[in-house]
Amino acid sequence: MIHYHGLPITPATVANYAIQAGHAFVSYAHPDQIGSAIEVAQSFALDNGAFSAWKSGKFITNWDAYYDWALNLKKVPSCDFACIPDVINGTEADNDALLKDCPLPKWYGAPVWHMHESLERLDQLANNYVRVCIGSSGEYATVGTNAWWSKMGQAMRVICDDMGRPICKLHGLRMLDPAIFTKLPFASTDSTNIGRNVGIDKNWKNGNYPPPTKESRAQIMRARIEAHNAPPRWNFMQVEQKGLFI
């Protein structure tokens, strides 16, 4: 599984340690470190920035500039894929309309299936695209809750064959947590965990050997995350998750 670490991470030297010969996830909402991703990372992927816009109360209605950006970066050999624009907490019709207008080739553009949407839409996307991104939304907006695991279990039964192998590549948006991705057959996941926590000094003061620099902190966080991998297939047996069987 590919572990994508979200940018930006400040300062730039810390970002370089976080993605050196690794993998970066660059949002169109914060594209400043795309140069570092190209020069330092082994590979990188592009996020459309819809989640950041939604969190700030803004909504993007014209995606032409994003498409120009993504199509230009498609020419970089280490660019893996770009998330197709989506409407967070929108209707299936809203998101299908964006797919219809998307100029990205299907081997490169990855649609987002939102967990509040129907399993029928997930099945349709999986059978028409090389990669599908899974986004937590609606009543499933919080990753790892009982309701979230229940819906994810239903999704895996739709998207996997009889041997538990996904019929397309799956990317877990904001799911780069070993407690999550070690139980699901993801091809890749991402998070901004390093960027959000590397600079919080109080989290690093306990213990006899605190890391001396933020660069060291980034290396430690990355090593702890990347020490884990996703399974190659979904286990259809009942799995207990906080008292819930899925």
pLDDT in tens, 84-114: 999 887 899 999 999 999 999 999 999 999 9
Q: Measure the CA–CA gap between 132 and 85, rounded to whole angstroms.
A: 12
Q: What pLDDT is stored for residue 52 in this prediction?
A: 80
Mean pLDDT of 210-218: 91
What are the pLDDT digits (tens) for 122-156?
A: 999 999 999 999 999 999 999 999 999 999 999 99
Closest C-alpha to 135, from 55, 221, 229: 55
User: Residue 145 in contact with residue 156, Cβ under 8 Å?
Assistant: no
Question: What is the model's pTM?
Answer: 0.93
Query: Which DSSP symbol is given to 138?
Result: G
Mention every residue, 6+ apart, whose C-beta is less than 8 A from residue 96: 121
The domain limits of the chain are: 2-245
Q: Topology of 2-245 in CATH?
A: TIM Barrel (3.20.20)
The DSSP call for residue 160 is B
